[in-house]
Structure 1
Amino acid sequence: MLLLDLNTVPPRERVEAFRHALTDSLVPNDISHEEPEGGIHARMEMWRVGGLDLFATRNSGFQVRRTARHVRHHRDHPIVSVSLQPEGVHRAEVADRREFLGADDICVFHELSPRVYGWSGDAASQSIMFDTHRLGVPVDTVVRASSRLRASPLYGLVLEHLRGVWRDPGRLENDPGSEALASATTELVRALLLSAAHTEQTAEVRSTMDETLLTRITAYARAHLADRDLTPERIAAEHAVSVRRLYTLLSEAGISLEQWLITERLAKARRMLTSARHARLTIAAVSARCGFSTPSHFSRRFQAAYGMSPGEWRRQGPLALAEPHE
């Protein structure tokens, strides 16, 4: 949903329109703007995916200051924002700690902590809002973790997961799996925060790591579907468990690892074959990017699952979607 496009607003009204959109969609803040030659500009959008609000903005330079006064006027259910910076260099200050954030950084703010945030020149931000009650992480833990996220072994996994969520949020809004995706995303962020906040393996961290193990394993596997060497041994080693423990965990969840990987790879290939972004890729290239050993193996599997060849699916497009054959 488009919240604001300042190109449609008279120049003299843009500052107030920006302030109104940001305050209404998020929380009260003090906002100051740079004044570029063409005037301030911004485009803000929001999506609702399985109970999570996703907010994206691309705008000219600005700074948001959230003070203790603002904190006292928080909403009934405060939020934790987890943001990516796809464009520009962002500045953040929390608890007297200042840092610069780029494309490979995750930025975390708790609504109940004062902060300063912004950038100079044109840049963009993508934020997911987590209800603090649903996330279940105390404010002091969030603040402590926010400066130490990269110390967590989960950092890279969560970063790739968040990037995946942001590839096409509009498509995710009405997807039947949106609730499960929201739950998995919440679990991964909670695990990252607790892991980063505690240098030692406390009982709370160990419990959270155990509870989120299945979610972390499936998220890791989805992020590496293109790797032909995505073996049970590699997956188990990446998560510090034995292969036997891996298979036991998956079996308890009703998952056959080999079949699950084939299903995920086929689903990825099916999306790629009808995506404008991948329209110039050959079927062999799609096969390779989805982790199949050979194009012929990919074609056989695709035909068995969907009742048509990859080429037929590409020609007929998404309206040809059918349930996999038993």
Structure 2
Amino acid sequence: MKSVRLAVVAFNLLGWLTMLSMSTAFAHEVRPAYLQLHEERPGEFRVLWKVPMQGNMKLALEPQFSGKTEEASTAVNQDVNGARIRTWTMRAPALRGQTLTIGGLEATMTDALVQVEYMDGTTWTGRFTPRAPAAVIPAADTASSVAGVYLSLGIEHILFGVDHLSFVLALLIITHGTWLLVKTITAFTIAHSITLALATLGFVHVPQAPVEATIALSIVFVAAEIIRRDQGKLGIAAQAPWVVAFCFGLLHGLGFAGALSEIGLPEGHIPLALLFFNLGVEAGQLIFVGAVLSILAIVRRAHLSLPTWTVRIPAYAIGSLAMFWTIQRIAMF
């Protein structure tokens, strides 16, 4: 049984490291671009255009409209948190019905989120992808379109959030028994759902940089607990992983809220967008857990055996990378 567990962990680690290398390579590019158009006077919009940057270079993306538009003010550029933000005022007497294209999007691996807010209170939220870089701006949003956009954003955020998945993987390694695993995953889900909602709705305000550094430290802690358990010393994570999952889940929820704040929420559909973003995060988390458990089933049938020293590899690898993230994030304060 021990050899099976070792094989499972090693196999999981291989997939996780592959995902890590991909995520590291495209860490900035997978973040969505963001275009907001807020109508301040009839036919006149305040425009905010945020594009992810790689180092000192931004992605070559540009919003393009099929109808008549003109700049009514000089654009102001600002670099903030790995993104170039440009603001200006645009005149567009007939914006509804125009085709909006995010030029250059088809050559990237990122998406673009667009929010249009009209003076009459109607809004529209659109998601543009490399495969679909253009769309017609409709008269207004529908609840189903908002739900679909934020559900997919939630799924993508967790599946590309290597630090969050590393924490979940560490919990899976240290947790034994189906019932205990259900309790642990449920506790993590409840905890980060609470803080995601509180922070997004403005009831909790926490600086994002310390939160991200502490999230990395939470992974280091669970990795250290795995090592202690393998040495015969049972810590709290091994004895009550659901308690650790809940406590650190509160931090991870604040991390999700920080990502959602960068994306923004559509006026008039904030509760719906928040709900479906959270459902997307849960769906992505369940996809990951399901993949790990599927690998477990495959390895059990294969009856693989590994040297005893391989038991140390996953915890040390996860802990070392998480410690690197901790130092990196602290250095960015």
Normalised by the shorter chain, which TM-score bucket?
under 0.3
Is the helix fraction higher in 1 or 2?
A: 2
Please give the TM-score of this superposition, normalised by the length of structure 1.
0.26
Structure possessing the higher relative contact order (Cα contacts under 8 Å, 6 or more residues apart): 2
Please give the TM-score of this superposition, normalised by the length of structure 2.
0.25
